[in-house]
Structure formats: C-alpha cells, structure tokens
Amino acid sequence: MKFSVKICGLKDARNVAAAVEGGAAYTGFVFFRRSPRFITAEAAGTLINEIPRSVTSVGLFVNPTDAELEAVLAHARLGMIQLHGTETPARVDKVRRLSGLPVIKAVGVATARDVHAVKVYEDHADWLLFDAKPPKDAARPGGNALAFDWPLLKTYAGKTSWMLAGGLTRGNVAAAIKAAGARAVDVSSGVETAPGVKSPAKIRAFLKTALAAAGRKGL
C-alpha cells in the first residue's frame, strides 16, 4: 500500500487546492455541527466538484442518523465515510450499505488495550483511524490537537488498513511515522492557525515533510 496523507476539516477552495496540489490522497470534510471545522453539505459539494477523482473526499460524521447521511450524500460526492463517534460494528455495516461507500472507523487510543479493542471492527470497517482518546470533558471526539503513545500501534496485528491521527504537526510527523509504523496519516488541527482556520502554507509544509519521511522509509 502506497503511503498516503489525509487533510481533514477543509472548508475553503484555497486550502483544498493546497491539499490537492501538495499530494494529499484524501480530503476530509466535517459534518459534525459542534466542530469548528463544520461545513454544510452544499458548501462541501461545491468544493468536492473541483477535486480530481483521483483524490478521495471523505465525509466525517459523529453518530449520524440515516437522514443526516442521506442529506449530505444528496449534495456531496463523497468517496468515503468516516465515523468518529460511538458507532457499533452493526452501525458501521448499516452505514456501508446505506451509503454504498467504504467506511473508516475512528477509535480513541490511550493504552494498548484500546489498540487491541479495535478487533471488533475488523470485519466491518474498511479502514481504522487511530486517534488520541479525548479528555472526558472534551466537546468533540477528535480534532483536539492531542497525541498518544505512537509505538502502541506497533502492537496492532490486524489486517485492516489504518491511519494515524492525533496531534500531528510538521514538526513531529516524521517521528510519528517511524514510531507507529504508519502507512497513512491524518491531520487537521496541526495545519491550522486557529481552531477551524486552515493555513495553505502549513498544509503544503506538512505534506512535504510527511511524504519525504515516508519516502526515506520506502513506504
């Protein structure tokens, strides 16, 4: 599997262009209203229409209802669904059937037990996304600029493809790739100047660093 990068939480054309031109394999759009990165289905659809089909557009949802999914899919040409809530394996299966799209299931990690617990999703999700477990009082399940102990992921023995997320920046992504053995990374807050405000320069710099680090490792 070729190394890949996902830039998540995109909201405007300048940052989408920076992600695509910089070599991102995935562009992420957040449909969780409590996130500072929230975007409407209509606005996301307009942006996605300008993205080459070689780049996969991912819709991030948190415990969505069927109606919420259908409303977004009616406007936005998504290539993948990301579930970032407390969705069960059965719910992952239903979302796959409803959308007709592959699904990424995000899981919070704080200990090795959390890594091993993802086994329940392996026959249901197409991808796993390992993110830092949010604090108990966090307003959202991800995008909190928190990292976890990356070497924990080297204990993951499943066959499901996975991405590394959580607190990644240009300054630490090379170390994270090496420590976790990651073949895909996902960044959001690490390419922002403020919550929900992406920087084209930071996006390009992150992509350049991550792709160079992966190239050095032969990923």
- CA–CA dist 89, 112 (Å, integer): 20
pLDDT (0 to 100) of residue 218 = 66
Between CA 64 and CA 84 the distance in angstroms is 10
Which pLDDT value is given to residue 145?
61
131 is catalytic: yes
Note the pLDDT of residue 219: 73
Would you state the pLDDT for residue 147? 84
Tokens in use for 151?
């070497």
Q: Return the pLDDT at 188.
A: 96
DSSP 98-144: HH-S-EEEEEEESSHHHHHGGGGGTTT-SEEEEEEPPPTT-SSSS-S
pLDDT tens digits for range 98-138: 999 999 999 999 999 999 999 999 999 999 999 998 756 55
Token look-up 């307009």 returns 46
Residue 11, phi then psi, degrees to nearest 5: -135, -5
CATH class of the domain comprising 4-216:
alpha beta
The pTM of the full predicted model, rounded to 2 decimals, is 0.93
Q: Is 126 a catalytic residue?
A: no
Q: Is the pLDDT of residue 163 over 70?
A: yes
Query: Which of 93, 131, 137, 149 is labelled catalytic?
Result: 131
Taking the alpha carbons at both ends of the chain, their separation in whole angstroms is 8
Task: Determine the Cα–Cα distance for residues 166 and 13; give it in Å rounded to an integer.
Answer: 24
Per-residue model confidence as pLDDT tens digits over 140-156: 554 556 789 999 999 89
Per annotation, catalytic residue among 8, 12, 126, 137: 8
Q: Is the pLDDT of residue 16 over 80?
A: yes
Q: What is the mean pLDDT of the chain?
A: 93
